[in-house]
C-alpha cells in the first residue's frame, strides 16, 4: 500500500477547490515554523514547502534558532494568527526540549491548525465535530479507504496511544462514518500480552516509534499492516514494522513511502479547508 497514489488522489481532489478559491481572489497560504536545526525536521519542512510551491500556494516560513525562547515561538504563532493571507500554520514537531510545544500550540488559532493537533481540534475529533483532523491519522484512514480495505465492523488494533498518532487514530477509526466505524483496540506498554491482540486482528497499525517492534509472529497470515511509527537515527529511518512482516501480511505499507506521503497530503487538505472556511464565514 504505497502512499503516493493516495496522496495523488487527494491532490487531484483539491485542485478544483484551490481553483475556486483563486477565482474568488484568494490563494491558499501556509505558514511554517521550524525551531532549531534538527535535520529530520528540516527535511520534513522542506518536503512540505516544495509541495506548497508546486501547488502555487502562498505563505511564508519562520526559521527560529536552536536557542529560541518560548516567547519567540509564541510571537511567530500570533503573527500568523493575525495574518489574513495565512490560512493554516504548521509548527514542526518535535521542537527542542526547552520549548513547550503543547503550550505553544495552544496559542495557535484552532481554525488555522494545519496539523489538527490543537487541543480544541482533538476535542472536536473526540466529539465527532467538523474540524481539521490530525494529519497522520487522517492519512491512514484515507490509505485504507483508497485500497478498499474494509474497516467498518472489523477489529483494528493500534500499537501505541501517543498524542500524534495512536490516540487520535483510535478516535478517528471509531467514528460512525463509512471509512471508519471499526472495533478499535489500543495496546501499549501497559498491555504486556499485546501480541495476543495484534495476532487476532485483521488490521494492525503500528504507532509506537520502536524500531522493529512488530514482527511476523505478531500478525496473522493475510493481515493488513500499516506502519506509522518511525524513529530516526541521524538520517536513517527505522520503522516499527519489521520488514519480514511482508512475507505474512496480505496488505502492508512499504518501508519508505507508506504513511508519510498521505500525511503531507492531509496537511494541504487541512489548509484548503481552512481557506474555504475563512472565506465562507
Ligand atoms: N509517518 C508519519 O508521517 C508520522 C507522523 C507522526 C508521527 N509518526 C510516528 O508515530 C510514532 C508515534 O508517535 P506518537 O507521538 O503518537 O507516540 P509516542 O508519544 O511516541 O508514544 C508511543 C506509544 O507507543 C507505545 N509503546 C512504546 N513502546 C512500546 C512497547 N515496547 N510495547 C508496547 N507499546 C509501546 C507507548 O506506550 P505508553 O503510552 O504505555 O508509553 C506509547 O503509547 C512515532 O514513531 C512518530 O515518529 C509518524
Sign, CA torsion 249/184/240/8: positive
d(CA 123, CA 152): 23
Closest ligand 1 atom, CA of 139?
3
* pLDDT tens for each residue of 69-117: 999 999 999 999 999 999 999 999 889 999 999 999 999 999 999 999 9
Compute the distance between CA of residue 273 and CA of residue 36 in angstroms, rounded to an integer: 29
Residue whose grid cell is 497470515 = 221
First to last CA, the chain: 38
Q: Which three cell numbers stand for residue 245?
A: 512482516
Mutation probe of ligand 1 site: the residue of 114, 172, 209 with most atoms within 8 A of C-beta: 209
C-alpha span between 143 and 3 (Å, rounded):
7
Spatial contact of 240 and 207, defined as CB atoms under 8 Å apart: yes
Dist. CA 28 → ligand 1 center (Å): 32
| Number of C-beta neighbours around residue 246 at 10 A | 13
**Which ranges constitute the DSSP H helices of 34-159?**
39-54, 70-82, 101-105, 119-127, 135-146
Atom of ligand 1 nearest to the CA of 191: 33
The pocket around ligand 1, CB under 6 angstroms, is made up of: 136, 159-166, 188-190, 194, 207-210, 213, 228-231, 259-260, 263
Q: Is the pTM of this model over 0.85?
A: yes
Nearest CA to ligand 1 atom 34: 188
Going by CA atoms, what residue is nearest to atom 30 of ligand 1? 189
168 neighbors 115 (Cβ within 8 angstroms): no
pLDDT tens-place values along the chain, 281 residues long: 999 999 999 999 999 999 999 999 999 999 999 999 888 888 889 989 999 999 999 999 999 999 999 999 999 999 999 999 999 999 998 899 999 999 999 999 999 999 999 999 999 999 999 999 999 999 999 999 999 999 999 999 999 999 999 999 999 999 999 999 999 999 999 999 999 999 999 999 999 999 999 999 999 999 999 999 999 887 788 999 999 999 999 999 999 999 999 999 999 999 999 999 998 86
Amino acid at each position: 500500500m504505497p502512499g503516493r497514489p493516495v496522496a495523488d488522489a487527494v491532490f487531484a481532489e483539491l485542485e478544483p477547490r484551490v481553483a475556486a478559491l483563486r477565482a474568488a481572489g484568494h490563494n491558499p497560504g501556509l505558514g511554517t515554523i521550524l525551531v532549531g536545526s534538527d535535520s529530520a525536521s528540516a527535511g520534513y519542512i522542506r518536503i512540505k514547502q516544495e509541495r506548497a510551491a508546486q501547488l502555487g500556494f502562498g505563505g511564508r516560513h519562520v526559521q527560529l534558532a536552536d536557542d529560541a525562547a518560548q516567547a519567540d515561538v509564541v510571537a511567530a504563532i500570533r503573527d500568523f494568527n493575525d495574518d489574513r493571507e495565512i490560512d493554516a500554520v504548521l509548527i514542526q514537531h518535535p521542537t527542542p526540549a526547552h520549548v513547550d510545544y503543547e503550550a505553544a500550540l495552544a496559542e495557535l488559532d484552532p481554525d488555522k491548525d494545519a496539523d489538527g493537533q490543537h487541543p480544541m481540534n482533538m476535542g472536536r475529533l473526540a466529539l465527532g465535530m467538523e474540524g481539521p483532523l490530525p494529519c497522520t491519522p487522517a492519512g491512514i484512514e484515507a490509505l485504507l479507504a483508497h485500497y478498499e480495505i474494509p474497516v467498518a465492523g472489523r477489529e483494528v488494533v493500534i500499537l501505541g496511544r501517543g498524542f500524534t498518532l495512536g490516540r487520535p487514530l483510535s478516535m478517528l477509526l471509531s467514528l460512525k462514518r463509512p471509512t471508519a466505524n471499526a472495533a478499535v483496540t489500543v495496546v501499549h506498554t501497559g498491555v504486556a500480552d499485546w501480541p495476543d491482540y495484534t495476532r487476532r486482528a485483521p488490521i494492525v497499525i503500528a504507532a509506537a516509534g520502536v524500531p522493529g517492534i512488530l514482527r511476523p509472529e505478531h500478525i496473522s497470515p493475510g493481515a493488513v499492516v500499516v506502519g506509522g511509527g518511525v524513529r530516526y537515527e541521524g538520517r536513517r529511518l527505522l520503522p516499527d514494522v519489521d520488514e519480514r512482516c511482508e512475507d505474512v501480511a496480505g496488505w502492508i505499507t512499504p518501508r519508505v513511502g507508506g504513511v508519510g506521503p498521505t500525511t503531507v497530503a492531509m496537511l494541504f487538505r487541512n489548509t484548503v479547508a481552512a481557506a474555504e472556511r475563512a472565506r465562507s464565514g
